[in-house]
Structure 1
């Protein structure tokens, strides 16, 4: 692992908060019970990357829903997720101390997430985290979502930090692929995927279950 990174770029869901099973539940019921997709839980999980409308296109095909219908489905899914997850909303263990250390060490921080602002605000405002981040890149801020590198390259550009001086915190293979495409190392949170699922990504420099792992000290 390279030392002395200048910026930490965080995915949000599954990386800062351990909520991906709640998203999976919400999508599973929405796709099957509301929209009649007839998908197994594992197949739904395999589609959970990128923007919500991209997920709907992957499942149902181009043109099945209008943009307005997809926006409505997306918001309803997120409302259901938030209602169930809110009583459990908390940072992954050790993250607050890790971010405080980053602030003290002068490391810049940003969020690069495929989530819509409605969900990002839900986390940042309920946990009072907004002050940690110099910028937030959401689904609404990019044309191409992960695994395309746009999300992380845009965050790095706003921070005025070279890609090689950033490390990305991710929980999903497609997110680590986005970091690789951006020329960035990645630390993987094994909240929903196993280490073996990242074997093809040479930029995955560490695997941790939470932010108390001492290997993270090497980033400073």
Structure 2
């Protein structure tokens, strides 16, 4: 599975950190309390993928908010999220050791996420892991969010890696679909979705609960 050209592309939320409940809480606060959307907690969780503007457009329709209004709402949502999550900020179990192993083996790595740049910086700088990543692609760097493959293809381009040599680490069906559309294999972290949610994708090579899984701990010893 691994070769000298293998590159790792990591989604952020639910993949590097287990923070999706905090995003849901922030969106629920903005959408229902501030904007009056008639959405349950579960409905909010299903809609909160892609860029923040895309979330607003899906729920309220195109043109409901001006660019200025959408930007203001986006800032409010991320401020709420960061304030609530910062006391709990930590890497998913086993990831730090895996990043160190990958770096020691010369594996190029990137973060390729629908998160905004500020949220990526919030994570990688507060957790002191920026040195492991050779490239970062955020929502601010792409035109179309996942499941469009643009995020992953841009990350591969920045790493000068062939898509076929990239392994994507994802937690969401839309992300796995984006990896499939990019021609990339995918390891699914089941922080937010069960295996059953990924059955239609043929690019999944493993399911893990976290980075202490045997598949991960044996990765370099058995596949070098």
Q: Same fold (TM over 0.5)?
A: yes
Name the residue aligned to 2:56: 56
Counterpart position of 1:160 = 160
Relative to the length of structure 1, the TM-score reads 0.97
1:152-193, Cα deviation, whole Å (9 max, x unpaired) = 000001111100100000010000000000000111111111
Tell me the secondary structure at the aligned position of residue 49 of structure 1.
coil
Give 1:140 deviation, angstroms.
0.6
Task: Give the secondary-structure state (helix, strand or coil) at the position aligned to 1:17.
Answer: coil
Q: Tell me whether 1:24 sits opposite 2:20 in the alignment.
A: no
**Secondary structure in 2 matching 1:183:** coil
Q: Secondary structure at the match of 1:155?
A: helix
Aligned-residue offset at 1:69? 0.8
Tell me which residue corresponds to 1:199: 199
SS in 2 for 1:207: strand
Q: Could you tell me how far apart the structure 2 residues matched to 1:169 and 1:124 are?
A: 16
- Structure 1: runs of 5 or more not aligned: none
2:168 alignment partner, SS class: strand
CA–CA distance in structure 1, aligned partners of residues 205 and 103 of structure 2: 22
Aligned: 1:3 with 2:2: yes
- Equivalence map 1:45-84=2 (5 Å): 45-84=45-84
Q: Distance in 2 between matches of 1:186 and 1:153?
A: 14
Matches within 5 A, 1:10-159: 10-159=10-159
Q: 40-49 or 90-99, which moves further after superposition?
A: 40-49
Q: Secondary structure at the match of 2:186?
A: strand
Which ranges of structure 2 fall in alignment gaps of 5 or more residues?
Answer: none
Once residues 43 and 115 of structure 1 are traced to their aligned partners in structure 2, the CA distance between those partners, rounded to angstroms, is: 20
Aligned Cα RMSD in Å?
1.0
Q: Distance in 2 between matches of 1:80 and 1:198?
A: 30
SS, match of residue 64 in structure 1:
coil
SS for the counterpart of 1:187 is strand
Distance 1:183 1:166 in 2: 9
- Secondary structure of the structure 2 residue equivalent to 1:186: strand
Matched position secondary structure for 2:206 = strand
The whole-number CA distance in structure 1 between the counterparts of 2:88 and 2:57 is 30
Q: How far 1:3 sits from its partner (Å)?
A: 3.2
Whole-angstrom CA distance in 2 between matches of 1:173 and 1:91? 21
CA distance in 2, matches of 1:73, 1:143: 20
Q: What SS is found at the alignment partner of 2:167?
A: strand
Q: Deviations over 1:61-82 (max 9, x none)?
A: 0000011111110111011111
